[in-house]
Amino acid sequence: MSYYILEDLELYQLAETFSDEIWLLVEKWDSFAKNTVGKQIVRSADSISANIAEGYGRYHYKENRNFCFFSRGSVMETKSWLKKAKNRGLISEEGFNMQLEKLNIIHLKLNAYLKFIGKLAVKSETNKPVS
């Protein structure tokens, strides 16, 4: 992985794929469901990768971390909308579990990425090697 190419970042790839899957899921809903839960879940799912991208483009570790924190908030928001979609009969239990598992993987990888860039921030501030 080259650190300078966003599209090579596995976390970003997973988040992009996830949001595209949510879009395709919502596209099949009726207009009421799309205009209520649908728009919200699409926005929050899109926000995961969008915030990763924005932070990545800042080139300053602290700003990158802040946008990753926003992304993590969007992960949690998306989990909430997924639960609402399941409870309201918009997605099946199986579909819910499948999407939730993907979202949990993104969440774990996002936390690992935050830890990684946190170490880089410390290194850049102190000129100490990352351990």
The CATH number assigned to the domain holding 86 equals 1.20.1440.60
How does residue 58 score in pLDDT terms, banded at 50, 70 and 90?
confident
- Tell me which of 103-107, 109-113, 115-119 is least confident: 115-119
The helix/strand/coil state of 75 is helix
Residue 59 lies in a domain: yes
Residue 128 lies in a domain: no
Residue 1 lies in a domain: no
Domains contained in the chain, number: 1
Closest CA relative to residue 97, chosen from 110, 111, 82, 112: 82
Residue 129 lies in a domain: no
Residue with tokens 């090697």, as numbered in its chain:
129
Share above pLDDT 70 across residues of the chain, in percent, rounded to a whole number: 89
Residue 67 lies in a domain: yes
Range of the domain at 66: 6-121
Distance, CA of 97 to CA of 95 (rounded, Å): 5
Residue 42 lies in a domain: yes
